[in-house]
Amino acid sequence: MLALACGVTACGSPEPDPAGPPAAAPGQPPAPPTGPATVLNLANWKLTLPTGPEGEPQEIHPPELLSFTDDSFRLNDTRDGVVFTAPAGGVTTEGSSYPRAELRELQGGELAGWSNRTGTHTMVLREAIMKVPEVKPHVVAAQIHDEENDVLMVRLEDPHLFVEHSDGEGELTLDPAYQLGTPYDLRITAANGQIEVAYNGQVAGVIPLAGDGWYFKAGTYTQSNPERGEAPDAEGEVVIYSLDVTHTP
């Protein structure tokens, strides 16, 4: 299935205005969400895009995110999923040489940071990896990150779908022969100084890792670039159909 934004021809109705609805007048309730925010609850996320000045990719925060859509972040044709697209030649963050169209967890409007030594921290999502670049066909579709490095990555090195952890020293296979476009259910639970990963309703493994300043990420983090010989327009692409994060004491 091609993950393209709906238009008049494809869907029978115009695509929502990327600028979103006008701001609510003082004292009036905020305008309802439009675009991707009609599928995913984006109130506690910020979005990093593969566009903007070199080394300073565009970021969209709530409440603007609740009405935002563009080529890298849009509804799919059936309007039941959000498409995250990051071309290999896209703008990267200062600490990475790879582009992303990716959500980063917030708490109360601030950057989230929690510890799995206390409480239970869970991300549940349904997603499908749609495209990988050709030369280096690798895409990261979900993460736990800390203040400096990735803690855990859900990674496709086509066709091997797996969890990478411990600075790349550890692997947990989810599907050795993943087919692009296949939706899967993922649950990542960080509690009691460890991380449990469930894939399509079955526990795939428990990783003994503990840390602080952690947060969830989800979307497309394309693991290639033109320096690898990749065409600048070669894309990594992920569709997220549902996304829920909970934290309990």
- Ordered DSSP codes for 142-172: EEEE-SSSEEEEEEEETTEEEEEETTTTEEE
pLDDT at position 27, please? 65
pLDDT digits (tens, 9 = 90+) for 179-200: 999 999 999 999 999 999 999 9
CB 178 within 8 A of CB 131: no
**Which region, left, alpha or beta, applies to residue 155 given φ > 0 means left and ψ of -120 to 50 means alpha?**
beta
Q: How far is CA 15 from CA 1, 69, 82, in A?
A: 19, 10, 14
pLDDT beyond 60 at 93: yes
Query: Residues with Cβ < 8 Å from 112, sequence gap 6 or more?
Result: 44, 104, 105, 106, 215, 216
pLDDT digits (tens, 9 = 90+) for 210-231: 999 999 999 999 999 999 999 9
**Any long-range contacts for 54-59 (C-beta under 8 Å, 24+ apart)?**
54/91, 55/91, 55/92, 55/93, 55/94, 56/91, 56/94, 57/90, 57/91, 57/92, 57/93, 57/99, 57/100, 58/91
Q: How far is CA 134 from CA 47, 154, 231, 236, in A?
A: 25, 19, 8, 10
Token duo for residue 29: 């309730």
The residue extents of the domains of the chain are 8-21+33-114+126-185+213-248
CATH code at 8-21+33-114+126-185+213-248: 2.60.120.200
pLDDT at position 94, please? 87
pLDDT digits (tens, 9 = 90+) for 51-89: 999 989 999 999 999 999 999 999 999 999 999 999 999
